[in-house]
Amino acid sequence: MESLERVEHQKLDSEASSSDIAGTADERAGKLMLRNIRSFVRGLSSSQGTKPKEIQSMIDIVASVMMSEDMVSVGLGSAIIRVSGMSRVQQARGLKLQKENQRTVQEGGLELESGIKRKGVSIGPRSKLDLDWVYDWFHEDCDIIEIDKSRKHSYKNKQITCAGKTRRIVCQRRVVNGLKKDAVDCLMASAEYKNHKKRLGRDINRKTLEQCICRCMKEAKPVECACSMCVEFRYALSAWDSQRKQWHEGGCSCRGCMGPRREGYMTASKSTSAFKKIVCCAKQPYPHLTLPHIPLEVPHFIPLKCCTKSARVPGHVRPCRDCGWEEKMYNHHNCVERSEDVAKWKIWVMSDIDGNSQRPVLQEHTGTRRELLNTIMRG
């Protein structure tokens, strides 16, 4: 059928484009106008997939001018396809737009429609994304976002635009322990995102994901522990993460890197929260510590038995045997990360101030990979 229509189109184009079109001037003008319309419609309709809104609107306008109910009533649909190149779907859209504009004029409207609304694209790169699950994930599953227990304030039916739609939120205030880009990194590393990417067949733009972070979530102010031990640990962890990619370029055949713990081991250097999540036991609920002003938000803390290095832990608490570096990760001496090759990180060094006194400052230190790992393990 399509081949017959193509032959018919080529025949009409050949007849209409010849310089010696027969007939009166009116007949020649009519044939040339039909040729121009057919070329215009076929040119715009040649692209595959869903057409941009502007192009579809142009085709709708041409179809609304060309079509009439009597063409349909006498069964001229196939003839219209052959003569103008206008498909049956386009014919129907033209009639619909024509009726809408006629109704607008009858009701005294001044602005005519330039096209009819169409359904959202369901597949392909221009399809509308389902971002509800991203919005929910940031509220419920992101490791670096937590309830702000220092505030009683919660949003009371506030209207916002987030994750592609208008929403009314009643959220308790939350804190992002890092930057928004860190929260997006957590999402993109999650199993939920990987599964969604597999179904979708493509990545979601980082800017789009960041716009799914609810208004109730604010970046934490710089109140993170600033003691020398914690600061040095964060710098050592960052140095480990930036250098270990190069260390593993040639691969590693130690039992740890070839075993089931490798994924967690490689993830642990991403951030302090990622490190704690891998090395420590999961947080547990403590219902008796729930704050009165947010009774539905039960606090979660790392179990006390996992914190026995602290001098403030009661003596009767026995150390946990399920967490820690040795239990959760691995420590093989033939690993590429524990060689005597060079590694660099920052440590505290006493520095002179005006020749009169000294103070500790962070300076880059050159040592071995084994020394860097031992520094992090002690931290």
| 182-234 pLDDT, tens digit each | 888 888 888 888 888 888 777 888 888 988 998 888 876 644 555 677 778 88
**pLDDT grade for 252, boundaries at 50, 70 and 90:** very high
Tokens in use for 146? 């937590």
In terms of domains, do 23 and 161 share one?
no
Indicate the residue among 49, 72, 106 that finishes a domain.
106
Does the residue 124 lie in any domain? no
Confidence (pLDDT) at 254: 92
Confidence (pLDDT) at 223: 46
Confidence (pLDDT) at 360: 74
**pLDDT grade for 235, boundaries at 50, 70 and 90:** confident
Question: Is the model's pLDDT at 299 over the cut of 80?
Answer: yes
In terms of domains, do 7 and 86 share one?
yes
In terms of domains, do 48 and 66 share one?
yes
Does the residue 177 lie in any domain? yes
Q: How many domains does the chain have?
A: 3
| 303-322 pLDDT, tens digit each | 888 877 777 878 888 888 88
Does the residue 334 lie in any domain? yes
Indicate the residue among 166, 189, 219 that finishes a domain.
219
Does the residue 275 lie in any domain? yes
Whether the Cβ atoms of residue 209 and residue 184 lie closer than 8 Å to each other? yes
Top-ranked range on mean pLDDT: pick from 94-98, 174-178, 222-226, 344-348: 344-348
Question: Mean pLDDT score of the chain, rounded to an integer?
Answer: 78
In terms of domains, do 239 and 353 share one?
yes
Could you tell me the residue range of the domain that residue 176 belongs to? 132-219
**pTM, entire model:** 0.43
Pairing state between β 174-176 and 217-219: parallel
Pairing state between β 357-368 and 342-353: antiparallel
In terms of domains, do 79 and 13 share one?
yes
In terms of domains, do 15 and 37 share one?
yes
Where does the chain have alpha helices with state H?
Answer: 2-17, 25-45, 53-66, 69-73, 77-84, 88-106, 132-140, 180-188, 191-200, 206-210, 228-247, 262-267, 272-279, 325-328, 369-378
In terms of domains, do 232 and 202 share one?
no
In terms of domains, do 190 and 235 share one?
no
**pLDDT grade for 122, boundaries at 50, 70 and 90:** very low
In terms of domains, do 236 and 345 share one?
yes
Does the residue 119 lie in any domain? no
In terms of domains, do 214 and 253 share one?
no
Does the residue 295 lie in any domain? no
Question: Is the model's pLDDT at 238 over the cut of 50?
Answer: yes
Does the residue 290 lie in any domain? no
**pLDDT grade for 11, boundaries at 50, 70 and 90:** low
| 25-70 pLDDT, tens digit each | 877 877 888 788 878 777 776 665 566 777 777 778 887 887 888 7
CA distance 345 to 339: 16
In terms of domains, do 166 and 234 share one?
no
In terms of domains, do 363 and 247 share one?
yes
Question: Is the model's pLDDT at 342 over the cut of 90?
Answer: yes
Does the residue 50 lie in any domain? yes
Q: Which of 14-23, 65-74, 148-157, 313-322 has the lowest mean pLDDT?
A: 14-23
What is the arithmetic mean of pLDDT over 271-300? 84
| 63-100 pLDDT, tens digit each | 788 788 877 777 888 888 887 777 888 878 878 887 87
Confidence (pLDDT) at 204: 86
Instruction: Give me the numbers of helices (H) and strands (E) for the chain, helices first please.
Output: 15, 9
